[in-house]
């Protein structure tokens, strides 16, 4: 009942672990697959090892989390050892970040070699200079990266987009026109927190990305807008912590969804809870499959 | 979850270690930790060395971040978040032996206070010993081990633990200290057939079980730990062998 597909990629369960959460090591990804996630998206991996920003890189807020990890990762060469452990246990989506179409293509080629079921291009991280949303807010740049990666790998190519723009649907159209297989929306919302008592920004990077319940309605709106503008498959992400949140994204037009912050707030059992309750809802309300529910809010 | 507290007292524990007390209403249990930050340092995880209404952290000066904390005076504000993690599971009716090694002693002091159980404190020399007085006040028996024999038993805490466990039956060992000590302690517990719970440490970023930077095998030290049971530890290939640096690269211990 919960089976879905993102383009050509079939998923037994519609929920995935969002990039950046419990996905830097092979054993942690295996654990999340066992917890009922249909796939795990890896930490965003670059060409070289990167320590990320110094701590503080994270804090809880009233309505979610704010983080500026700064894309810490062991680099694509060493990440092969983690993929070797994880890829044989289920669908691993390789998240990658680069500064040029060539760099993205090389990283994507490695992920394909490591057994990734798809690659997710990080065109949306709000806290890494020269990467992420700095490239991902220009449709021409997005198109050239997607098209370069498409021509160098045969696994599906997904583009993760930022909500920190007024031209989100143009970005999604650019992904589709370049042959991209799906868009993932949304990444975190660029934000800031200041300690009044200390009179300073809390994150070492000053700015970070806001996630959790605070951004769910932004994400649902973004997915709805993209769906209205183009027919490219959409993976919805942003503030999902229960079946109602997941159903909103699906009804806005997503064929699958990702969960990040709720793995912290609800625990790793969040996937099995969403799976059970979403299935119960679908039975109660006469949705025979996920595909029957996709985009119904548009009708 | 996060708060800014002011230092209400500072205790000199040794030539390089200080305890900073603050008032914090949050309910915490022995073995839990908080993330600690003031501007000019990197935020770091610290075990709570007092867990009542007045709480404290005990800081050994080992680098620039801990130096920054040592520079703080009375009334200085500190940003803390937490409490995080799973602490010690204090089982009623079990005969317990508590072991603290080096500055790790600070993390087991709340357990000593709560249980009054027999306690071993280990340190390099008598100058490095901390919290002997408070442990002596609450523990039924307190034994000291120093590597150079300058006080108490001449040898490390694990060697002393082997003697004590052979002399008298214990059901459960509770410990915090350097990983090399805990690795040998775990082996001793397996050999001697004693259950144990050990408080472990890895490089942390979020502290809240989200980012996956502090993994030991498939366990998050910040959320599934930092206190792990003997059974959990028996499944860890990383314990005593390798850690992860801030990039997530595997690094051999030792």
Position A37 scores a pLDDT of 96
pLDDT tens digits for range B20-72: 999 999 999 999 999 999 999 999 999 999 999 999 999 999 999 999 999 99
Is the domain of B107 the same as that of B183? yes
Contacts of A166 (CB under 8 A, 6+ apart): none
A-chain CB neighbours of B4 within 8 Å are 195, 197-198
Position B91 scores a pLDDT of 80
Gyration radius of chain A over CA positions: 18
The pair phi, psi for residue A134, each rounded to 5°, is -65, -30
Query: Mean pLDDT over residues B94-109, rounded?
Result: 97
Q: In angstroms, rounded to a whole number, what is the distance separating the alpha carbons of residues A217 and A227?
A: 15
Is the domain of B130 the same as that of B49? no
Is the domain of B176 the same as that of B208? no
In a domain, B195, yes or no: no
| Residue B173, H or E segment | strand B172-176
- Interface probe, candidates B38, B65, B247, chain A, greatest A C-beta count within 10 A: B247
Can you give the CATH number for the domain in which B118 is found?
A: 3.40.50.80
User: How far is the alpha carbon of A199 from chain B, nearest alpha carbon, in Å?
Assistant: 9
Contact flag A198-B213 (C-beta cutoff 8 Å): no
Is the domain of B69 the same as that of B143? no
In a domain, A206, yes or no: no
Query: Would you tell me which residues 30-89 of chain A have a C-beta closer than 8 angstroms to some C-beta of chain B?
Result: 30-31, 43, 49-52, 54-60, 65, 67, 69, 72-75, 78, 81
Contact flag A25-B212 (C-beta cutoff 8 Å): yes
Question: What is the DSSP annotation of chain A?
Answer: ---EEETTEEESSSEEEPTTSS-SSHHHHHHHHHTT-SEEEPPPB-SS-B--SPSP-EEEETTEEEE-----B--HHHHHHHHHHHGGGS-EEEEE--SSHHHHHHHHHHHHHTT-SEEEEE---TTSTTSTHHHHT-HHHHHHHHHHHHTT-SS-EEEEEPSSSS-HHHHHHHHHHTT-SEEEE--PEEEE-EETTTTEESSTTSEEEEESGGGHHHHHHHHHHHHHH--S-EEEESS--SHHHHHHHHHHT-SEEEE-THHHHT-TTHHHHHHHHHHHHHHHTT--SHHHHTTGGG-
Of B157, B188, B219, at which residue does a domain stop?
B188
Range of the domain at B214: 200-254
Residue of chain A nearest B85, judged by CA positions: A264
In terms of Cβ atoms closer than 10 Å to its own Cβ (0-12, 13-18, 19+), residue B99 is: buried
A-chain CB neighbours of B37 within 8 Å are 55-56, 202
Mean pLDDT score across all residues of chain A: 97
pTM over 0.90: yes
Position A166 scores a pLDDT of 94
Is the domain of B93 the same as that of B157? yes
Residue of chain B nearest A267, judged by CA positions: B209
Is the domain of B96 the same as that of B177? yes
Contact flag B205-A73 (C-beta cutoff 8 Å): no
Contact flag B206-A58 (C-beta cutoff 8 Å): yes
Position B7 scores a pLDDT of 98
Can you give the CATH number for the domain in which B69 is found?
A: 2.40.30.10
Contact flag B205-A58 (C-beta cutoff 8 Å): yes
Q: In angstroms, rounded to a whole number, what is the distance separating the alpha carbons of residues A93 and A95?
A: 6
In a domain, B79, yes or no: yes
Q: Of B42, B209, B211, which is closest to A54 when you measure between CB atoms?
A: B42
Residue A186, preceding peptide bond in cis (omega within 30° of 0): yes
pLDDT above 90: residue B177: yes
Gyration radius of chain B over CA positions: 17
In a domain, B225, yes or no: yes
In a domain, A60, yes or no: no
Contact flag B205-A204 (C-beta cutoff 8 Å): no
In eight-state DSSP terms, residue B72 is: -
CB atoms within 10 A of CB A185: 32
The pair phi, psi for residue A195, each rounded to 5°, is -85, 115
Q: In angstroms, rounded to a whole number, what is the distance separating the alpha carbons of residues A41 and A5?
A: 15
Tokens 């490219």 correspond to what residue?
A232
Q: In angstroms, rounded to a whole number, what is the distance separating the alpha carbons of residues A130 and B11?
A: 46
In a domain, A204, yes or no: no
User: How far is the alpha carbon of B178 from chain A, nearest alpha carbon, in Å?
Assistant: 23
User: How many distinct structural domains can be found in chain A?
Assistant: 1
Q: Please say whether the beta carbons of B101 and B175 come within 8 A.
A: yes
Q: Which two tokens stand for residue A293?
A: 């529910």
Q: Which two tokens stand for residue A26?
A: 């092979």
Query: Would you tell me which residues 100-139 of chain A have a C-beta closer than 8 angstroms to some C-beta of chain B?
Result: none
In a domain, B193, yes or no: no
Q: Please say whether the beta carbons of B102 and B128 come within 8 A.
A: yes
Torsion sign, CA atoms B248, B250, B251, B254: positive
Residue of chain A nearest B251, judged by CA positions: A74
Position A267 scores a pLDDT of 96
The pair phi, psi for residue A38, each rounded to 5°, is -75, -20
In eight-state DSSP terms, residue B71 is: T
Q: In angstroms, rounded to a whole number, what is the distance separating the alpha carbons of residues A139 and A147?
A: 12
pLDDT above 80: residue B254: no
pLDDT above 90: residue A107: yes
Q: In angstroms, rounded to a whole number, what is the distance separating the alpha carbons of residues B187 and B224?
A: 22
- DSSP strand pairing (B44-51 vs B2-14): unpaired
pLDDT above 90: residue B92: no
Contact flag B248-A23 (C-beta cutoff 8 Å): no
A-chain CB neighbours of B214 within 8 Å are none
Of B164, B188, B212, at which residue does a domain stop?
B188
Question: What is the DSSP annotation of B196-254?
Answer: EEEE-----SSSSSSS--SEETTEETTTT-BEEEHHHHHT-SSTTTEEE-TT--EEE--
Please count the residues of chain B.
254
Is the domain of B60 the same as that of B94? no
Please count the residues of chain A.
299
Q: What count of CB pairs under 8 Å joins A to B?
A: 111
Is the domain of B44 the same as that of B95? no
SS3 B134: helix
Range of the domain at A232: 4-54+69-194+213-298
B251 to A7, B165, B243: CA distances (angstroms)? 39, 34, 5
pLDDT tens digits for range B114-127: 999 999 999 999 99
Query: Would you tell me which residues 177-206 of chain A have a C-beta closer than 8 angstroms to some C-beta of chain B?
Result: 195, 197-198, 200, 202, 204
pLDDT tens digits for range A120-156: 999 999 888 889 989 999 999 999 999 999 999 999 9
User: How many distinct structural domains can be found in chain B?
Assistant: 3
Can you give the CATH number for the domain in which A186 is found?
A: 3.20.20.70
Q: In angstroms, rounded to a whole number, what is the distance separating the alpha carbons of residues A218 and B72?
A: 42
Tell whether A27 lies on the interface with B, counting CB pairs under 8 A.
yes
Is the domain of B118 the same as that of B62? no
- Interface of B to A at Cβ within 8 Å reads 1-2, 4, 35, 37-39, 42-44, 77, 79, 81, 205-213, 215, 217-218, 220, 244-250
Of B188, B215, B230, at which residue does a domain stop?
B188
Position B127 scores a pLDDT of 97
Position A299 scores a pLDDT of 86
Q: Of A58, A74, A197, which is closest to B4 when you measure between CB atoms?
A: A197
Query: Mean pLDDT over residues A197-218, rounded?
Result: 97
pLDDT above 90: residue B1: no
The pair phi, psi for residue B140, each rounded to 5°, is -65, -50
Tokens 């205790």 correspond to what residue?
B11
In a domain, B50, yes or no: yes
Q: Please say whether the beta carbons of B120 and B161 come within 8 A.
A: yes
Is the domain of B102 the same as that of B116? yes
Q: How far is CA A286 from the centre of its chain?
A: 29
Residue B148's pLDDT band (cuts 50, 70, 90): very high
Contact flag A263-B43 (C-beta cutoff 8 Å): no
Contacts of A288 (CB under 8 A, 6+ apart): A1, A282
Among this protein's residues, is A125 annotated catalytic?
yes
Contact flag A30-B210 (C-beta cutoff 8 Å): no
Q: Of A198, A200, A261, which is closest to B210 when you measure between CB atoms?
A: A261
């Amino acid at each position: 009942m919960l089976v879905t597909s993102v383009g050509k990629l079939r998923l037994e369960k519609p929920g995935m672990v969002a990039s950046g959460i419990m996905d830097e090591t092979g054993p942690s990804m295996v654990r999340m697959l066992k917890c009922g996630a249909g796939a795990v998206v890896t930490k965003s991996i670059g060409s070289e090892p990167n320590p990320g920003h110094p701590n503080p890189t994270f804090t809880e807020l009233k309505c979610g989390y704010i983080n500026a990890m700064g894309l810490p990762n062991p680099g694509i060469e060493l990440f092969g050892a983690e993929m070797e452990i994880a890829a044989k246990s289920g669908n691993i989506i390789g998240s990658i970040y680069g500064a040029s179409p060539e760099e993205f293509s090389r990283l994507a080629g490695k992920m394909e070699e490591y057994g990734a079921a798809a690659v997710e291009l990080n065109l949306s991280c709000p806290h890494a200079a020269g990467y992420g949303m700095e490239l991902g807010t220009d449709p021409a740049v997005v198109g050239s990266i997607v098209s370069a990666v498409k021509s160098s790998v045969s696994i599906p190519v997904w583009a993760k987009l930022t909500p920190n723009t007024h031209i989100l649907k143009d970005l999604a159209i650019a992904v589709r026109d370049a042959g991209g297989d799906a868009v993932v929306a949304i990444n975190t919302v660029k934000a800031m927190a200041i300690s009044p008592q200390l009179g300073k920004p809390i994150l070492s990077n000053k700015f970070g990305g806001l996630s959790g319940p605070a951004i769910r309605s932004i994400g649902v709106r973004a997915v709805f807008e993209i769906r209205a503008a183009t027919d490219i498959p959409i993976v919805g992400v942003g503030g999902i912590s229960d079946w109602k949140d997941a159903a909103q994204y699906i009804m806005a037009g997503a064929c699958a969804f990702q969960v990040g912050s709720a793995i912290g707030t609800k625990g790793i059992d969040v996937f099995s809870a969403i799976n059970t309750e979403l299935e119960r809802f679908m039975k109660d309300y006469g949705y025979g499959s996920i595909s029957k529910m996709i985009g119904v809010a548009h009708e | 979850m996060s708060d800014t507290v002011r230092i209400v007292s500072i205790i000199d524990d040794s030539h390089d270690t200080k305890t900073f007390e603050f008032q914090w209403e949050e309910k915490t249990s022995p073995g839990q930790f908080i993330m600690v930050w003031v501007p000019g340092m990197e935020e770091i995880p610290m075990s709570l060395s007092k867990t009542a209404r007045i709480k404290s952290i005990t800081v050994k000066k080992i680098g620039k971040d801990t130096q920054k904390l040592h520079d703080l005076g009375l009334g200085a504000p500190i940003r803390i978040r937490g409490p995080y993690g799973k602490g010690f599971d204090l089982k009623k009716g079990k005969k317990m032996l508590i072991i603290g090694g080096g500055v790790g002693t600070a993390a087991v002091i709340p357990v000593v206070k709560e249980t009054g159980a027999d306690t071993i404190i280990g340190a390099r020399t008598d100058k490095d010993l901390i919290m002997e007085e408070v442990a002596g006040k609450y523990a039924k028996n307190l034994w000291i081990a120093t590597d150079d024999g300058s006080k108490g038993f001449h040898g490390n805490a694990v060697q002393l633990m082997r003697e004590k466990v052979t002399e008298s039956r214990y059901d459960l060992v509770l410990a915090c200290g350097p990983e090399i000590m805990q690795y040998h302690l775990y082996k001793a517990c397996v050999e001697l057939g004693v259950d144990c719970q050990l408080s472990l440490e890895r490089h942390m970023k979020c502290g809240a079980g989200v980012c996956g930077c502090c993994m030991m095998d498939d366990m998050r030290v910040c959320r599934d730990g930092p206190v792990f049971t003997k059974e959990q530890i028996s499944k860890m290939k990383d314990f005593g062998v390798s850690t992860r640096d801030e990039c997530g690269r595997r690094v051999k211990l030792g």
